[in-house]
Structures are given as structure tokens and as C-alpha cells.
């Protein structure tokens, strides 16, 4: 048979150089014993240094046409190269994001409430697992509202989503939402919420920065990512809380308004990457921001 002609015999492995062990494996908290697909998806989101910068543009799912997200494609066009993951709903993803982009997608899959409705916490799951696969997502995200009137329902959403997603190797990121009750952002409350999210099967937890952030990360068996919240007064403030959160065990950030509502969003992402991936101090990051915003090299 023509196909079999000229086939080379396999080499004797005992005569080959010792097998290379490759670079030190990246360690992802709580992920030592997970299946290949799940690990591969997490590895697409978390860089070899164990850190990540996610870019969320999902705000419209409950607050409509948010400032600077009016045309999401324009907002993210120049930012995607600096992002390790894009947090987005399926509607904006399909309508506004180029499928050629290389940035992995974290799909927002909870919602169905709004800022003008009765209660933001009354969310349901909005997206089927078939749709997640169709959209080739690297992970999915949903909000849980611990301590709210809908605590049980949103925690049940998480548990059911984990059941569906584990079947397909899709990591679930839980967002410890506080709705309009921003005063809930204390280490005690957020540590409780994050731990519950991990216990129910979240592979990553996103939570607000607060004082004593190590109380949150110490009590959470999976990676913790810092959420943003309303825009800070100064860029330095952002670099400071991100730096402190990372020192205290966060693996990265998921900052929206503090990036794309800043007049220099690319410079913000570059400066943040210097903290997250480069170990820069807040002061060094601020210097990078100042240089980059005027188009310079640093
Ligand atoms: C909304 C979210 C957002 O992704 C999150 O709030 C991050 O954006 P920002 O930094 O603007 O707060 O999960 O529920």
C-alpha cells in the first residue's frame, strides 16, 4: 500500500536524550487535581506568573448604556492586548467583539434585574451551557448576593452552574456582589462570601478590595481576583489598592470603570500590568502611567 511505503521506524527512546521536564509548572490555588480541559481554560486566563488582569465590560447587563461603554467595541479595541480575559455578556460579545480576538472570554451568565427594578439581587442564570460552548468561553461569571433577600437563590444559581460547567470543564468565577449596599465591603463579610462561593464550587472568586484583605485570601481555597467599584479620585489610589491586594494574596484584578472611564485607559492597563505581572510598586506604576499617557516608552 502506497501510504505504508517509506514509513520511518520509531526511535528507541532509551537511546534518546533524557526527557525535558519543561518549565516549572504554574501553580493555581486549589487546582492541583483538576481535569485537563478545566486546567487549560484556567491557564488561558492566568499567566505563567500566576497573575491576571481581567477587563470587565459587563456593566450594561443591569445598568444599561454605561458611560464609556456606549460602543463597547470602541472601548476595548486598544485595550484587549493588555487584558488576560474579557468579562462580557453574550449579547455584547456577539454584537460588538471581533471573534478573531485572542483574549479569552469570561462570559457573564447571571442577570435579569436592573438598577431601576425592585431588587438587584434577584438574579437568575441567563445563559445555557450549550451557548457557553458555542461561544468558546474560557470561563463564566455570575454574581452571588450573600446576606440579601435572595441569598439562597443566588447561591443555588452558583451551585447549579458549577454542576453544568464542571461537566464541560468550564471554570466558574463567582462575583461577591453587594448591590447598592457598598458599606458591606468589609473583610469579615467578603471573607464569608468568598469562602461560601468556593465551598459551592467556584474555581475563581472576584471580590472587592478592603482593609485586611489577607483575611479574605487566607480563608479562600481558590484564587481571588480584586473587583473595582466606582472610579477612584486618582490613579495612584488604584495602583495602591491593587498592590496591597496582591501583597495580601490576590492573583490579579477585574477593573472596569477605573480603566475605561480614565482618559488614558491604555496607560492605566500598562501601569497595572507593571504591578500585576512586573512587581512594580504603586509609585513606579504611577511613573509608568505618566510616561505612557503621553505616548512615551518607559
Ligand atoms: C458588575 C461586575 C463588574 O465586572 C465589576 O463591577 C467590575 O467593574 P468595576 O471595576 O467598574 O466595578 O461584576 O457586577
Question: How much is the pLDDT for 90?
Answer: 98
pLDDT at residue 295, as a whole number: 84
- Identify the pLDDT of residue 296: 73
For residue 26, the model assigns a pLDDT of 76
Tell me, in angstroms, the distance from the centre of ligand 1 to residue 141's CA. 11
Which atom, in ligand 1's list, is nearest to the CA of 175? 13
The pLDDT value recorded for residue 14 is: 86
For ligand 1, atom 12, which residue shows the shortest CA distance? 229
User: Is 85 near ligand 1, meaning CB less than 6 Å away?
Assistant: no
CA 102 – CA 240 distance, rounded (Å): 29
pLDDT of residue 7: 87
Pairing, β 124-125 against β 139-144:
unpaired
| Record: fold of 50-257 | TIM Barrel (3.20.20)
Tell me how far the alpha carbon of residue 87 lies from the centroid of ligand 1, in angstroms.
9
pLDDT at 21: 64
d(CA 230, CA 233): 10
Cell of 45: 486566563
Q: From the centroid of its chain, how far is CA 28? A: 14
Whole-number Å distance between alpha carbons of 185 and 182: 6
Pairing mode of beta strands 124-125, 110-111: antiparallel
Q: Within 10 A of 287 (CB to CB), how many other CB atoms are there? A: 15
- What are the boundaries of each domain within the chain? 50-257
> How many Å apart are CA 100 and CA 138, to the nearest integer?
15
Give 2's DSSP letter.
Answer: G
What's the distance, CA 266 to chain centroid? 18
Encode pLDDT of 227-280 as tens digits. 987 789 999 999 999 999 999 999 999 999 999 999 999 999 999 999 999 999
Is the CB of 58 within 6 Å of ligand 1? yes
pLDDT given for residue 159 in this prediction = 98
Q: Which residues are catalytic?
A: 206
> Can you give the pLDDT at residue 1?
57
Distance 134 CA to ligand 1 centre (A): 24
- Are 252 and 225 in contact by the 8 Å Cβ rule? The answer is yes
Looking at residue 260, what is its pLDDT? Answer: 97
> For position 19, what pLDDT does the model report?
74
What is the model's pLDDT at position 25? 64
Query: From the CA of 4, how far away is ligand 1's center (Å)?
Result: 58
State residue 210's pLDDT score.
95
3-state secondary structure of 169: coil
For the CA of 141, the closest atom of ligand 1 is 13
State pLDDT tens for residues 165-180.
Answer: 999 999 999 999 987 7
Give the per-residue pLDDT at 298.
63
Positions of the chain with pLDDT lower than 70, given as ranges: 1-3, 21-25, 298
User: What pLDDT shows up at residue 160?
Assistant: 98
pLDDT at residue number 231 = 83
Amino acid at each position: 500500500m502506497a501510504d505504508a511505503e517509506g514509513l520511518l521506524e520509531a526511535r528507541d527512546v532509551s537511546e534518546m536524550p533524557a526527557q525535558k521536564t519543561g518549565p516549572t509548572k504554574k501553580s493555581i490555588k486549589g487546582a492541583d487535581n483538576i481535569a485537563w480541559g478545566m486546567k487549560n481554560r484556567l491557564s488561558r486566563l492566568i499567566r505563567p506568573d500566576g497573575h491576571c488582569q481581567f477587563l470587565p465590560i459587563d456593566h450594561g447587563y443591569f445598568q444599561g448604556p454605561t458611560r464609556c461603554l456606549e460602543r463597547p467595541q470602541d472601548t476595548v479595541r486598544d485595550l484587549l492586548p493588555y487584558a488576560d480575559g474579557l468579562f462580557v455578556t453574550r449579547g455584547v460579545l456577539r454584537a460588538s467583539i471581533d471573534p478573531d480576538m485572542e483574549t479569552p472570554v469570561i462570559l457573564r451568565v447571571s442577570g435579569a434585574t436592573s438598577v431601576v427594578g425592585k431588587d438587584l439581587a434577584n438574579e437568575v442564570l441567563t445563559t445555557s451551557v450549550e451557548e457557553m460552548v458555542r461561544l468558546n468561553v474560557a470561563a463564566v461569571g455570575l454574581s452571588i448576593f450573600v446576606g440579601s433577600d435572595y441569598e439562597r437563590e443566588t447561591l443555588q444559581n452558583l451551585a447549579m452552574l458549577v454542576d453544568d460547567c464542571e461537566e464541560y470543564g468550564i471554570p466558574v468565577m463567582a462575583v461577591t456582589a453587594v448591590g447598592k449596599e457598598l458599606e458591606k465591603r468589609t473583610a469579615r463579610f467578603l471573607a464569608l462570601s468568598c469562602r461560601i462561593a468556593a465551598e459551592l464550587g467556584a474555581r475563581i472568586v472576584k471580590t472587592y478590595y478592603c482593609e485586611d484583605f489577607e483575611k479574605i485570601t487566607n480563608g479562600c481555597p481558590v484564587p481571588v481576583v480584586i473587583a473595582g467599584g466606582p472610579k477612584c479620585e486618582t490613579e495612584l489610589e488604584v495602583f495602591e489598592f491593587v498592590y496591597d491586594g496582591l501583597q495580601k494574596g490576590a492573583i490579579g484584578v477585574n477593573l472596569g470603570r477605573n480603566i475605561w472611564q480614565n482618559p488614558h485607559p491604555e496607560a492605566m492597563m500598562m501601569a497595572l500590568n507593571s504591578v500585576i505581572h512586573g512587581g512594580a510598586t504603586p509609585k513606579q506604576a504611577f511613573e509608568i502611567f505618566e510616561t505612557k499617557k503621553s505616548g512615551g516608552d518607559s
